Structures are given as structure tokens and as C-alpha cells.
Amino acid sequence: MNKYSTANSNECSEVKKLPIKRYMLAGRRRVVLYNKDLANISNLSESKINTLHKKSQLRKGQDWVFNPDKSDFVLSLSSAQAIMVIADTDKSWEIHHRISDFIQQGFKK
């Protein structure tokens, strides 16, 4: 466990709060985050997240897709992490590390 980790022993207490969903991305059902959810947990505005999304040069269909049912963008976990790195705030780095902890923990729960 490093200084950025949010994991406590074998359990990751913060992961329960991440609004992670599943959605069809790049021909597979993937674990994803929605732009609106990312904005809510990061305390950044949706417009700021959308601006960072455009700046990040993520690949449509591979890293993100638009979900017309929810009128929102669906981001892969690595895409959400990339957007959080570009945001470069303390809260965004915390979310980046929480996603990393989720990936590292796997799907044990």
C-alpha cells in the first residue's frame, strides 16, 4: 500500500462509493463511469468534465461512447482516470487512485 492508496487491509472502503456501471464499449460489456457521475464525485461541473473529455483526445468507440438513453457519455475506467489526471486537482487525483484501487482489487465482491 502506498501513500496514495485508499485501501484498508484487504478491503477498499472508498470503492463502494464509486458509481461504476456496466455498458457495451468496443464490442464488449465493460466496467464504465458516466460523465455526469464523474462530475458529481469529483466536484467539477459537467461542462468542465466535457471540456476535459474533448481535450484528452480519447478514441470514440474505444475509450468512450454516447448513451442516447441517458444523454450522457460513457467512459472506460482508464478514460475516466485520464480525465482526472488532466483536471489535476487534489480531489481528481483521489478519484484516480480510487479507480486504480478498484481495478487492483478486481471483482471479488
pTM score: 0.77
pLDDT in tens, 71-99: 999 999 999 999 999 998 889 999 999 99
| β partners of residue 30 | 23
| C-alpha span between 71 and 84 (Å, rounded) | 21
DSSP 107: S
pLDDT in tens, 34-74: 999 999 999 899 999 999 998 888 999 999 999 999 999 99
Q: Check if the beta carbon of residue 38 is closer than 8 Å to that of residue 48.
A: no
Determine the 3-state secondary structure of 20 from DSSP.
coil
**Which set of grid coordinates corresponds to residue 4?**
496514495
| β partners of residue 97 | none
